[in-house]
């Protein structure tokens, strides 16, 4: 895809030398967050254990059937005791979803499904440890059961649910078809605020939630948080009083805060000062709050720092004079009041004809709007190509392929077309000899 000499990027550069390669920002962020979450040693071991659990529990159709049958029995018991309600779509039988690094939501879905099916998973592991076909299966299931029912594993399981829940919203938003950098940066800001709030103020509530889960699941023992924490048996004799560490200190500092700090640090790294400066200057064009952030000097700095090659020197001089007229005209015009986004402003300038008057400002707005935060739409187009041009259609010409891809990709537009419209279009074509 990104090969500069003989891959797809090279083909694009031959047609348009000014095109540049942008890796999918959503996928970059997902991969970075997955890697950052593993920086804490306990969390890294947690993910290794997750893979081991899913390989054992749903590694075969038989075990997957056992998992679902245990869920059925558990749901029936809870319905009989009036612990849960019955309604359409509720109490669905599911399975554990295998996580994939490039799909952050898969990690979040897996963690949620494991919490939901925790008792059923423990039951399946217990069955395998007793009825496994060989000693290896029984031993692996027994060891996995001990890990799954440990307090530290359950605490990290709930911690990952909280962290992934916040970052999952950001990752999903970055994969939408239409997403500009201003909204993306706002989502980053809210995600960081939520993680920071979780770190500073939610520890006690989080710990109570984990303890409540352990008490509900009788298999899990809650340790004394004031007791001494020892890292390993062979090292405990060498730990003196100065290195005394309580269980709560370990879970809060080494696990809870450490995992959140790595996520916050990665978000800061991915959205660097360069991107923040670009956002700050781009925000001066925003029509929100009655053009409150509009500043001519910042807009000129935006052009000088980031779009120097898109404006010649004479246009930079003319731009400042256009901005002076624009400031007295557009913000006070009735048609441009209460516009929420830059895209609405750009559309309004085109409809009113002011895009021709303020052509340089319109060009700058369009440049800001085309800042990529995700290439999800492009990736979906390439996925569609595999469906259209198959092994049996390998000799399809480029023009015919492009026509088919447009119809397939632009489904929202094509769905408004009717058979009559298509027939009328063909009738309007000049008669051709049969």
d(CA 252, CA 262): 14
DSSP helix/strand/coil, 132? coil
Confidence of residue 379 (pLDDT cuts 50, 70, 90): low
Contact yes or no for 283/186 (Cβ under 8 A): no
Looking up tokens 């408004």, which residue turns up?
A: 416
Q: Is the pLDDT of residue 23 over 60?
A: no
Least confident range from 84-93, 133-142, 232-241, 393-402: namely 232-241
Question: For the chain, how many residues are written?
Answer: 434
Task: Name residue 228's beta-bridge partners.
Answer: 246
Span 163-184, pLDDT tens digits: 888 888 777 776 665 555 566 6
Angle at 81 between CA 75 and CA 84, to 5 degrees: 55
Contacts of 260 (CB under 8 A, 6+ apart): 163, 195, 196, 198, 199
Span 392-402, pLDDT tens digits: 777 778 888 88
DSSP helix/strand/coil, 416? coil
Mean pLDDT of 18-45: 65
Contact yes or no for 361/381 (Cβ under 8 A): no
d(CA 349, CA 360): 12
Confidence of residue 60 (pLDDT cuts 50, 70, 90): confident
Per-residue pLDDT at 181: 59
Q: In 10 A of CB 77, how many CB atoms?
A: 11
Q: Is the pLDDT of residue 298 over 60?
A: yes
Q: Token digits for 269?
A: 């790294």
d(CA 237, CA 91): 50
d(CA 234, CA 279): 53
Domain boundaries, the chain: 25-223+245-270, 280-369, 376-428
Task: Name residue 103's beta-bridge partners.
Answer: 100
Mean pLDDT of 314-329: 92
What would you report as the CA-atom Rg of the chain, rounded to the nearest whole angstrom? 29
d(CA 417, CA 44): 52
Q: Within 13 Å, how many C-alpha atoms sit on residue 298's CB side?
A: 13
Per-residue pLDDT at 158: 92
d(CA 212, CA 368): 49
Confidence of residue 39 (pLDDT cuts 50, 70, 90): confident
Contact yes or no for 142/340 (Cβ under 8 A): no
Q: Is the pLDDT of residue 140 over 80?
A: yes
Q: Is the pLDDT of residue 325 over 90?
A: yes
Q: What is the DSSP string of 68-89?
A: HHHHHHHHHHHHHTTSS---TT
Confidence of residue 241 (pLDDT cuts 50, 70, 90): very low
């Amino acid at each position: 895809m990104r090969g500069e000499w003989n891959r797809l990027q090279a083909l694009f550069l031959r047609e348009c030398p000014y095109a540049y390669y942008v890796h999918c920002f959503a996928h970059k962020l997902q991969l970075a967050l997955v890697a950052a979450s593993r920086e804490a040693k306990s969390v890294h071991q947690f993910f290794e254990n997750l893979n081991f659990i899913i390989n054992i529990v749903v590694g075969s159709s038989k075990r997957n059937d056992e998992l679902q049958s245990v869920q059925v029995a558990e749901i029936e018991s809870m319905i009989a005791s009036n612990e849960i309600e019955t309604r359409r779509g509720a109490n669905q039988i599911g399975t554990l979803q295998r996580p994939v690094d490039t799909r952050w939501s898969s990690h979040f879905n897996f963690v949620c499904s494991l919490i939901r099916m925790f008792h059923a998973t423990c039951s399946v592991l217990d069955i395998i440890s007793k009825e496994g076909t060989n000693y290896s299966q029984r031993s692996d299931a027994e060891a996995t059961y001990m890990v799954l029912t440990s307090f530290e594993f359950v605490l990290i399981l709930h911690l990952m649910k909280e962290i992934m829940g916040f970052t999952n919203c950001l990752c999903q938003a970055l994969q939408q078809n239409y997403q500009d950098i201003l909204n993306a940066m706002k989502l980053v800001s809210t995600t960081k605020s939520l993680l920071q709030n979780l770190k500073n103020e939610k520890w006690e509530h989080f710990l109570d939630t984990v303890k409540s889960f352990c008490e509900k699941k009788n298999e899990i023992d809650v340790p004394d948080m004031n007791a001494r924490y020892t890292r390993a048996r062979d090292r405990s004799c060498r730990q003196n009083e100065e290195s005394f560490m309580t269980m709560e200190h370990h879970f809060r500092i080494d696990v809870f805060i450490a995992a959140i700090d790595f996520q916050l640090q990665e978000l800061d790294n991915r959205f660097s000062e360069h991107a923040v400066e670009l956002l700050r200057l781009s925000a001066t064009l925003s029509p929100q709050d009655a053009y409150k952030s509009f500043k001519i000097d910042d807009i000129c700095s935006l052009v000088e720092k980031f779009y120097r090659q898109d404006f010649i020197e004479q246009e930079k001089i003319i731009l400042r004079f256009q901005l002076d007229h624009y400031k007295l005209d557009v913000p006070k015009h009735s048609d441009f009041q209460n516009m929420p986004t830059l895209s609405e402003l750009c559309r309004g300038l085109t409809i009113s004809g002011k895009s021709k008057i303020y052509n340089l400002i319109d060009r700058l707005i369009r440049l800001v709007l085309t800042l990529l935060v995700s290439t999800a739409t492009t990736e979906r187009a390439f996925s569609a190509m595999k469906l259209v041009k198959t092994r049996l259609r390998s000799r399809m010409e480029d023009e015919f392929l492009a026509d088919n891809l447009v119809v397939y990709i632009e489904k929202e537009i094509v769905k408004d077309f009717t058979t009559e419209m298509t027939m009328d279009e063909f009738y309007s074509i000049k008669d051709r000899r049969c």
